[in-house]
Structure 1
């Protein structure tokens, strides 16, 4: 091989290396990775601070879902069932209508379950779980409104009836009306709050578990899901224990002139 051929081959290899280097510089690989990293950051909208990225891992996702599931079971299957008789007396509702409050959770979950499953198959699972938590909070707020909208509860007076008798030549009639009958209209407020609970709870167990399964490996997924369901079972247990203790507290304990 002549010296000229050696120089020409070395120049050719140098040119190839420089050409490959220029190709890597021109390719928008870094920009693509930057976009992906921006999309998977934790935050709300454009607010994605760096300190919040410490929670951007499966363990923190499991922690948030466990808290969510425990509170959902605490409110829906715990406190709500314990307070059934109290709501019945406070708002003058028969047992058949009070049972509709618990049923509204299942009705809303059954109707919207298919729709939520279809929407949850997309890319916005974390947003749907976050909106489910907000929906649960709004439902709990709605269910507390009747307590603050109605007046002070007077024990023994809610069932008082106002009757008037009319006489005519043919017969005597007596018309009775419940003096507190308007309280029964708050049933629809309670139904709305429980229906919102159904939307949030359905999204948690459909989209939340799917999100958790997508975020971990197939070998650790059963462990994560099992921990989630363990906390979901703990919620109703705490609801019955704490709700039973709260039954000893008078409904208007903050009112100094209320009958206790």
Structure 2
């Protein structure tokens, strides 16, 4: 397969400075590739650790969770053959980079529900700043009801089985969309990355190199649980002072915080 000379340079587009070329080696690629794999594994476990808090915050029925999370597999089934074939004919490191960028996009989409709806009326009412302030609580409640979340003040028939109902549709759709985009990014990262390593390393070393990158994922899993525990130990709005502690069943942790940091 013929490739342009620029494909051998380290950089993006016209940004191919001479000092960047020291990184155009297999070892540097493996380092970055393994680090990104660790971050991806950490993010996946972090999502598992915070999923129940997300369901609790937006009153999403557990039966809906499976549909939300199926976006990852659906995108891989529909697009994996096309993406791997088309990407394999071009600059694979660049396409791997696009896959990593999609990771960040999926994290941003997962954080959107908090940016749109905020911590929620129930969480606000359990803080020193809002407790007992009926005027503020009423104003916030009316605003939240307008944008479609299901709170305790909403009539029961407006919900389904007393949970999210139609008011939890957007948060659930955003999760599905995030998982769909994540599936595309994962396909580009995993398939193109492994074939690129195989083509640029000695055949006798390829199994070892692939094993090294895969062995880093358990570290990401452990970090994901630690980050999830740390974020859920913080109140959903860190700027407010809760009147309850983490042992209270009404406690909502900052499930969104880890997503914002991973975007960076």
The question of a shared fold, defined as TM-score above 0.5 by the shorter chain, is answered with: yes
Give the number of the structure whose residues are more often strand, by fraction. Answer: 1
TM-score calculated relative to the size of structure 2:
0.73
Change in CA separation of 1:38 and 1:143 when aligned onto 2, cut-off 3 Å = same
* 1:131 paired residue number: 98
Do residues 193 (structure 1) and 190 (structure 2) align?
Answer: no
Q: Give a deviation string over 1:73-121, Cα, whole Å, max 9, x none.
A: 1112x01111111011111100011232322212212221111221133
CA–CA distance in structure 1, aligned partners of residues 154 and 30 of structure 2? 57
Q: CA deviation at 1:159?
A: 4.5
Q: Which residue of 1 aligns with 2:157?
A: 176
The structure number with the bigger radius of gyration is 1
8 Å Cα contact 1:132-1:199 kept in structure 2: yes
DSSP-derived class of the 1:214 partner: helix
Q: Does the CA contact (< 8 Å) of 1:92 and 1:184 recur in 2?
A: no
Q: Given the alignment of the two structures, is residue 67 of structure 1 paired with residue 35 of structure 2, yes or no?
A: yes
Paired positions, count: 214
1:244 aligns with 2:229: yes
Instruction: Give CA-to-partner distance per residue, 1:160-199, whole Å, 9 cap, x none.
Output: 1544xxxxxxxxxxx7324975343221112111211111
Paired with 2:75 and 2:15, the residues of 1 have a C-alpha distance of 33
Q: 1:203 and 1:231 mapped to 2: Cα distance?
A: 19
Q: Which runs of 5+ in 1 are unaligned?
A: 1-34, 164-174
Structure 1 residue corresponding to 2:82, chosen from 115, 123, 141 = 115
SS in structure 1 opposite 2:28?
Answer: helix
Is the 8 Å Cα contact of residues 91 and 184 (structure 1) preserved in structure 2?
A: no
Confirm whether residue 213 of structure 1 aligns to residue 180 of structure 2: no
- Cα distance in 2, alignment partners of residues 152 and 90 from structure 1: 8
Residue equivalent to 2:146? none
Alpha-carbon distance in 2 for matches of 1:37, 1:206: 24
TM-score for both structures, normalised by structure 1 = 0.74
